[in-house]
Structure formats: C-alpha cells, structure tokens
Chains A and B, each alone.
Chain A
Amino acid sequence: MKKYLLGIALCFATVGAWANEAKLPKIELPTSPEALQRGAETVATVCLSCHNLKYIKYSDLSGLGFSKEKLGALSVGHGLDDSLMSPMSAEATKQAFGITPPDLSMMAKARVGGPHYVYAFVTGFYTNDKGKTDNHVFPGAKMPDVLGAASAKGEERTAIEYKAKEVAAFLEWAGDPKAQERRGLGRYVIAYLIVLTILLYLVKLRTWARLKEHHKRKHT
C-alpha cells in the first residue's frame, strides 16, 4: 500500500527529483534496535567530531532501546538533556574544512533519496586519477573519507558498507523519531475509518432506499 500511495504522490509532487534518485542504489536498511544503536554509536563517536545533531538530545536516544549504562557511556561529559553537539565550534570546523558541516538531524530528510543518499555518500569515496580522494555522489565534497571507503576492499569493504547502512538507518530515525509511533497509530486510524465508512455507506443505502416512498408520498 505504501508503494502504491507513494506512486500516486509522485505523480503529483516532487517530480523534479526523479533523475537524481535513479542514480542512487536502493539499499535494504537495517531495522533492528541493535543496528540502530550501533548507528547511533558510530554517529556519536565519528560524525559528531565535526557535525551537530541539534534536534536530538541524549535522552531521545533511549527511544532506540539503549540501556542506562550504555547511554551514560555515550553521553559522557554531557547531561542527558543536552543536544548532540560537536565539541568543535562552527568557526573551528570552517577553518579546518572551508565550510560549516551541515547539521545531521534532518540529513535523511533534506536530501533526495533520504537515507539512500546518506549511504551512497559515505561509501562513495574513491581515489581519482590525480591521487586525491573524491566522492561519486557529491564531487568535490569537503568531508574526509571517515570510514575509509576509498581504500577498503573485500571483507573490510563489506564491514564499512554495513556500518554505513547502520548510520543511514539511524539518521532516518533522527529525522523523524515519531515515525514508528505514527505508523502504529495509522493502522488503527485506517482500520477505524474503513469500518466507519462501510457503516456510512450502509446508512446511505438505507436512506436512499426510502426515495421511492418519498416520491410516492409527494405525488399522491
């Protein structure tokens, strides 16, 4: 049903996005809480060196099923109500990389392809003819190849790809932490509406069945 709805939606909206989306490989995102937790850990230990996730607080991460101990370890030096902010200031990162790294809380929503873009980007580093590291998805990207995707081969590469999938899945969660609650509630809402609509249809049938009677009364 979701695909069908998306199809309808795409007929009307976001038409301009098709061309780009086609280039991104569609990946199977991990959904287990453990994978999301590992994704959160990678983001907190690697990405957070430069990027912020200002809309996510450490306490929000408990929604991923982190134990108290793990959460405590992850938020060392921070309060649970602190947002996930990089220790580097915006000025410092700008000096180091030439740009301010974008906030990651909405990253999986702010790019065409969403988490698939994130995955394709972090695994898309390669060494070009001039011996410099570049990116297939975002040529000229200022971000360094943090997972080491450009040089990795074989099993090492597989491990990196899995890590990237976890990161993409976590960032998708971070972009819309209420998504699971929304879909859960949605099932009940739709089920209720279907029953209601069937009842309304029966009411309509019964009402209109009286139409003949109505006409008889009027004409006699």
Chain B
Amino acid sequence: MAKITMDGIEYEVSDGLTVVQASAEVGITVPHYCYHPTLPAPANCRMCLVELTLPGAPGPLRQLATGCSTRVADGMVVNHETPTVQAARASSLESLLAHHPLDCPTCDQAGECELQNFAHKFGHDVGNYAETKKTPPRKHLGPNVDLFTTRCVVCTRCARFTEEVSGDAVLSLVNRGGKNEIDVYPGIPIDNKLSGSVVDLCPVGALSSTDFMYRSRPWFLEEVDSVCTRCSKGCNITVEHRDGETVRIKPRLNEDVNGFWMCDDGRYDCDYVSSPDRLRMPLAREGDDLVACGWSDVFDRIAGAVQAAGGENVAVIASAWSTNEELHAVRRFATEAVHTSLIGLLSAAGDDEDTVYPGFTIEKDKNPNRAGARLILGEEVAQDSAIWEVLRRANAAIIFSGIPDAELSDDAVATLAALGFLAVVDVGTSALTALADIVIPGTTYTEKDGCFTNSQQRVQKLNAAHRPLGTAMREWEFVRYAAEALETEFDYTDEASVTADLVASTPAFAGVTLEVVGERGHVLGSGEAEPETNDGNYAYARMFWK
C-alpha cells in the first residue's frame, strides 16, 4: 500500500496504480478520454491533469501532470481541484466541444457519454468558440461499426485497441493536426470478432454499433449481470433489456476470465434471444403439423410414451447449454423418474482450435457449460457424436437443446426419425423440433437464473433479465412436472432449491453457495472465495465502465 495525500486527505491506496485508478479507488473522479487501464497511455486528451508534488519535493511541479501516466508513490501529494487544474481541463473540454455537433438528442451515447458527463461536471457554462465548425462525414468502418466523425475526440482508444488487443491495427489516425481522423485503410474494414469492443471503448458517441443504433435511449434500459453462452470461456456480461426484450449485451469486467472485453459472437446474441421465431407455447404433432397444445397434454403424452417404451428404453439427452441446476434436475429426472441409463449430452459443434487474438482468446468449444455437465452427468457421459449411438439404442427420447442454429446430419435425422416418440425442449424452431412429436418451449440464458461452469472450472452466476416467453416454463419446472407425471416427487420450489439439491448431492459442487460464486465466479476446488486481483481496475470499472 502507498500513502498518498489527495486534496488534503491522506489515503492508503494499492501500489502500482495510476493516479486515475487510485483516485477512483477512493471515490474521486479524474476525467479522461484517452486513458484505459489495459492500453498504453498516450496522455493525449489532457483531461486528467492534476497538480503533483513528488515525494519529498518542497512544492508542486510547475507543469501539471497527467494522472493517467503517473503512478502513485509513497508520499506523493495530488491536488485535483486547484484553479490551474480546473482551468486547464475546462479549456481542454472547450477545445473538444469546439467542433462537436452537439447532436445529443439523436446520439445513442447520450446518457452514458463522457463528453456530457465531464462537460456537466468540469466544463465551462458558456462556449467561446465562434469560428466555423468542421463537418467531416459519417463513415461506415465495418459491418458492425459506424464512425460519426464529428463527434470524435481523437482519443485513439479504438486505434490502440486494434493494435494491442485485436492485433490487426485496422483503425488508425489519418491526416494531421486539426484534420486528424480515425479511419480504416481503403478496402480493409474493421471486421474481426472483437470489432464491437471499440464501440464500448469509445468514450463519446463517435463509434456506434449499427446493431444498437437508434434502438433505445440508454436510460430506459435495465441491466442484469449474466454470463455469455457462446463459448466455454464464459465471458462476464451485462444484459440490457427493455419491456421484456434484450436489446444490448456488453462485457463486464472480470480480470480472471474476459478482462474488459467480449467477442461479437456473444455481443450480437440479442438477435436470437429476441427473435420472432422463438417458441412461446408447447406444440404437439398432428400429422405433418405441429399445433399448439396445453401443458397437461405435454405431460400426459410424455408419461404415456415413457410407460409404453419402458423407462430403460427411453434416452434422455441433456444440453451443454443448460445451467448446472438444469443439468442436475435432468439427471435426476432420467435416473429417478424415467429409470434409464441412456443419457447423453447434446452440444453445439465447436471450432477446430481457439481463435486467438493478442489480447483475447475465443475458445473452440462453443458450449457454455460442458464442464459443468461432465461434473454432473459424469465424465463418461456420451457426448458429441456418441449421443447418436445412445439414441439408436432407444425407442423414445427426450432431448433438451436450447442450442441456436443446431444442425443435424442425415444419419442423425434417420436416427431420430426411427424413434417411436421424440420430445424436444428448445428455444426456437430448429432441425430437432421439425422431427419432434412434442415440442416444449425452453428458456434462453436471459430468462433464467442459475450457474454455468466454464472451461477453467469456474462457476459463474447468470440472472434472469426477463420472464420466459408466452406460457414457457423454466427447465427445472418442466422437469418437476414431467417427473410428477411419472409419479416421482422432486422437492423443487424455485432455482435456489435446485441449487441446494445440486450442492448437497454432487461432491464437486460442495460448498458452492451464491455468496461464494459472487460477481466474479468461483473456481471449483479452490477453497474460499478468491481474493480480488486488482482493486484499482475494479474501482476504475465501477466508476467509468458501467
């Protein structure tokens, strides 16, 4: 710890922090645009200027120091609010606003814009700029990213991100001086899987997501913490929703998992989560058609099919996209209600190898909870192509899917068609539901509580952003009623009761309460909750990165 004096008060802050981070740690906002704790600090926005007295020096340095590139040292004195500091940053702000179009009423960033926030807190009340404003045109930089050039403050965060994290350096400054602009090289758009992150990084409304553009004013959005489902990495995310619809997904800092970033696969998930093709009620097959039916029909037909085929001939296929709790409920359902040993794990097809960027890795396994499934269903559970062997031995099957865009081979279709009865739990119409006798509407990760276990064996909590669609019920609830139809009683009243059951009956999860999991997850077998790795970054993120 370093003892430093800020604005006349002595604080103890963590070692090695920048002045911006140390100030955030004690709750003082140091305004800045160019600085980001994970990128090199060019100190170009000149907003984080502070008056600095070096340890042991008789007085402050004559030139103001930049809080982003100065690291705290024991005995340092920092003043954030001297008249010189106030004048300097107000004049930097005035310069930044000189050419700004002030189009806040139609800007997506309004409400979460650092230009608005800092101008409100640190700026002049009257602008002095009376010359002609520059009006460079809006640019389409890539499939997901537009640049409103007039709004840009040329902080170069985005350019540094493409140099340091995505590594392709597609964004850079062109021209010089007042004509500086962010741009791509002609014919080389920003089109990598991390492109959406530059929109998050942009402190103003310059880089905009074409996906979110004009969709909602940010202040109408509600947020819940969640976990991305697009690969086994389990990036921590914030799901932003409005009126029961997920409209934006953003990364949430977890230095042990995803840092500040996430990939575009997960970011643009709202397309399928909010798709009009989502299932809203149970369907039953009548001839070639699937028609709406009631829940009692569903349970009657499942019970009837299981009794007709004989429990041991019914395959129960769980999903690697289900939560730990759901997997546990499905396992109990298979063994205690259906009495079968034909259990498999359906998973989404993965990539051949991880997609590796210099500062971020997208994992090859495209399932959020394969690690949890293997702990709950057992290491030897049939996975991937082996599940078709399980299904070939069965006369009837209940398949839990929830995997968007799942594809079936011809062999798989033949295997499924040969079954006497097929019930499918899925979130939307799919190749599986096309072959099903009963289709049960499932829930996406935005509609349920529970935990995933990522490839690091880290249990992470997701929270429901909104209710299941239509009459759909959450999987544990469906399992409880289906078991009831098979005259087996599960003592489940809510997600927490399933979690308690899981923790009590599965040794690997012993002691894993929601408190232990916390905001940043808990690695199984690692004992108590993990210590916070770098308080500076979390304090910084809480202040500037929400």
Is chain B a partner of chain A in the same complex?
A: no
Enumerate chain B interface residues (CB-CB to A < 8 A): none
A interface list, Cβ under 8 A from B: none
